[in-house]
Amino acid sequence: MTTSPAQATGTPARLEAVRERVRAACERAGRDPESVRIVAVGKRHPASAMRPAYAAGQTLFGENYVQELADKRAALADLPALRWRLVGRLQRNKAAQVVRLGCAVDTVDSVRLAEALQRRADGEGSRIEVLVQVNVAEEPQKAGCAPKDLGGLVATLRRLDALDLRGLMALPLQAAQPEDSRRWFRILRQLAAEHGLHELSMGMSADLEVAIEEGATMVRVGTAIFGARR
Ligand SMILES: *Cc1c(COP(=O)(O)O)cnc(C)c1O
């Protein structure tokens, strides 16, 4: 992504630029801008970097690691409207911790992980929002449910009453050109439609426009909001 010097003046300005990109993409696609939520992904930025975004009206934040999410959630506990999503891989032995944090989990990709979350959430008397991460490009060694296994996982999730299945998420390999992501976003949208699911978390700093054109309801944006990661 190219950022003009005038835009590179801190998180509030960058956030406004991202909102403008979302609005413009929605307009081109004939979509309501309210139908797309921005998830601000703060991995490897300190909790203090989230505050200017929150002050500028951003309330939905994503993190890749459970411990980093826990630390930031504690550091930002004074911000009442803040909501968290885990957007990175979750190991089953962290299911209890994640349920206690009360965040949404966007990366459920196996029946065993789903069952572990169900057990913990049920035990706490809570309900957690989940997305299924799909390995749309069927990349070997990559997190995500294979498209052929999605039907079985969705059926299981619908039986697990402590989990609130909302939709699908994908993290295809970062392409050289934003346009190269389109085919994967399209596959994710088709899979969601086949299963009657509505949330589509896809698109990042570089390709959020293409994702919105293909139906994204959540775009996960790090660099374009917080700047380069250390
Ligand atoms: C880091 C990350 C993002 C944000 O990536 P940017 O290119 O910095 O916008 C989105 N989703 C996931 C799962 C990530 O790990």
222 lines ligand 1 (CB under 6 A): yes
CA of 100 to the centre of ligand 1 (A): 24
Percentage of residues in the chain having pLDDT higher than 70: 96
- Least confident residue range of 1-5, 9-13, 129-133: 1-5
Which residue in 52, 55, 91, 98 sits closest to 73, CA to CA?
98
Question: Rounded distance, CA 153 to CA 193, Å?
Answer: 15
Contact between 132 and 153 under an 8 Å Cβ cutoff? The reply is: yes
Question: Rounded distance, CA 108 to CA 24, Å?
Answer: 31
CA of 200 to the centre of ligand 1 (A): 15
- Atom number, ligand 1, closest to the C-alpha of residue 106: 13
CA of 219 to the centre of ligand 1 (A): 9
pLDDT tens digits along 70-89: 999 999 999 999 999 999 99
Q: Above 70 in pLDDT, residue 6?
A: no
pLDDT tens digits along 91-107: 999 999 999 999 999 99
pLDDT tens digits along 168-180: 999 988 778 999 9
Global pTM value: 0.95
